[in-house]
Amino acid sequence: MKFSGWPEPGELVVGKVEEIKDFGVFVDLEEYEDRRGLVHVSEVASGWIKNVRDHVTVDETVVCKVLEINESSQQIDLSIKDVNDHQRSEKIQEWKNERKADKWMTLAFGEEMSDETYSTVANELYGEFGSLYDGFEEAAIHGDEALESTDLSDEERAAIVETARENVSVPYVNVTGYLQLRSASPEGVDDVREALEAAEGNGEVPDEIELSVTYIGAPEYRVKVKAPNYKTAEDALEQSAERARVAMSDLGGTAGFHRERQTEDE
């Protein structure tokens, strides 16, 4: 997807070096329709530059900072030297992600998708998530629920979710904690089993979370959570421990929880 209109001063943009002159470099902006900018020789690199071609080559992909825009003269002044390595890496990754998402739009709505459909869906995803890629990623993780607050139709949401779950590689994190379950009741084994079922969520854990409880050695059990991000994982782990605590308390037993494994001596 390429934007119509103009970038904003201070914005980082991805471009391809089209032409090199002694006074500077002309760059085609990859994210904007029919926009070209100029990197003056003084903005190509820090220090004195003997030959611009020692610093850039034709067809090279570069990340630039927008310095000034003059719409009346169709001029965009850019800087390469004002972009540090971290900014360059992040911007390139963002650009690559959006190119992926652009292809996913075609997979979701077909090669014959109209410009109107593309714009409608893209604007909804940008408005809600900030980018096409983030919209597809959230749809892959949370399904239709992620898109409920948009004005997309049921069919559009379903197409996005299906495409996202087939194509988006979702990052996951793992966290672990340990439960210590004790019951003095004659039905202690059954009490612990009930508490473990509660810890596992009684079948009501959200689809994006994988939660398992395994036996280590009485009275200790390991709780492992796999989720899309640390906050979700930590929340799920704490909720699992709390469910076990409440269940054991209701049954007259006790439940302890630790992030690190502890021995009986502790």
pTM value is 0.66
Give dist(CA 158, CA 170) in Å, integer. Answer: 18
pLDDT at 255 over 50: yes
**Start-end ranges of CATH 2.40.50.140 in the chain?**
12-82
CATH 1.10.150.190 fits 86-167, yes or no: yes
Of residues 33, 32, 2, 36, the one with CA closest to residue 19: 36
**Start-end ranges of CATH 1.10.150.190 in the chain?**
86-167
Is-cis flag, bond preceding 9, omega within 30? no
Tokens of 140: 């892959």
Of residues 96, 227, 124, the one with CA closest to residue 173: 227
> Spelled out in words, what is the top-level CATH class assigned to the domain 173-258?
alpha beta
CA atoms within 13 A on the CB side of 110: 5
Q: Answer for the pair 129, 94: CB distance below 8 angstroms, yes or no.
A: no
**Average predicted confidence (pLDDT) for the chain:** 91
* pLDDT tens per residue across span 202-241: 777 888 899 999 988 878 999 999 988 888 888 999 999 9
Residue 260's CB is within 10 A of a number of other CB atoms, namely 8
Q: What homologous superfamily does CATH list for 12-82?
A: Nucleic acid-binding proteins (2.40.50.140)
**Start-end ranges of CATH 3.30.70.1130 in the chain?**
173-258
